[in-house]
Structure 1
Amino acid sequence: MAFSEYLADRVSQFLNEKSVSFITKKMMGGLLFMVDNKMYVAVIKEEIMARIHPDIYDESLEKEGCNKMNFTGKPMKGFVFLSDEAIDLEANLNYWLQLALDFNPFAKASKKRKSSKN
């Protein structure tokens, strides 16, 4: 799995400094950070995929380095990719991580998949 360990460490440090409990999962070709059993952000290659409030989605896309997330070719409102231009400085990264953290209590948790028995 190719993802920036340096960027993952920066996300972990932010959450630890905020005393936020989180877990990580390797998936989506990167490292997913979960807060309260909900997707918070993911480090994919050299970018961050963040889950932000849909009400600020369009406004956020106007910021340098913030792009639509479109794994399937169809953008998902509230999910953005953040390139180096958006997250190179610590203050910039912290801005986006805090936006995602602020939205987390309002985010819906994904439904657990039922395991099939053979």
Structure 2
Amino acid sequence: MAYSEDSAQILRDRLDGFQGIEERRMFGGLAFMLQGNMLCGVHRGGAMFRVGKDNHAAALKIDGVRPMAFTGRPMGGMVEAEGELLEDDARREAVLRLALDFVTGLPPK
């Protein structure tokens, strides 16, 4: 399996009730889209969050969050989180709030 279904379910449960959330299989993982814009997702070994460049430094201060370097190069505005971060309500909510703040400000696709 390319990603943890348990991790995906944690995000599904948290995002339940948000209008415009869709799931898309991407890059061997599962992405959660909000109004057509990527919000977060799960992949082998953890999760990713689209926090935007303005929220990037704040996200990196959360224990278990690191820059996302999917191709070996850091991707601005994207962060990765260890799998166990998703099980910690406070840390998961902190990074997800940063992602929601960024993505809700984008125009729908």
Asked if Structure 1 and Structure 2 have the same fold, meaning a TM-score greater than 0.5 normalized by the shorter chain, the answer is: yes
Structure 1: gaps (5+ residues): 111-118
Compared CA separation, residues 27 and 6, structure 1 to 2 (3 A): same
Relative contact order, CA 8 A, sep 6+: which one is greater?
Answer: 2
Could you tell me the percent identity over the aligned residues? Answer: 32
**Mean alpha-carbon deviation: is it higher for 36-45 or for 50-59?**
50-59
Q: Provide the C-alpha distance between the structure 2 equivalents of 1:47 and 1:108, rounded to a whole number of angstroms.
A: 27
Distance 1:109 1:20 in 2: 14
- The AA in structure 1 aligned to 2:58 is E
Offset of 1:109 from its aligned partner? Answer: 6.8
Q: Distance in 2 between matches of 1:68 and 1:5?
A: 23
Deviation >4 Å, runs of 4+? none
Q: Deviations over 1:48-107 (max 9, x none)?
A: 110003112123223321111112222111100011353331222122222211111234
Q: How far apart in 1 are the matches of 2:107 and 2:13?
A: 25
Task: Name stretches of at least 5 consecutive residues in structure 2 with no aligned partner.
Answer: none
Larger Rg: 1
For 1:54, the equivalent position in structure 2 comes to: 53
Could you tell me the TM-score, scaled by structure 1's length? 0.79
TM-score by length of structure 2 reads 0.85
The size of the alignment, in residue pairs, is 108
In structure 1, C-alpha distance between the alignment counterparts of 2:31 and 2:83, rounded to whole Å: 18
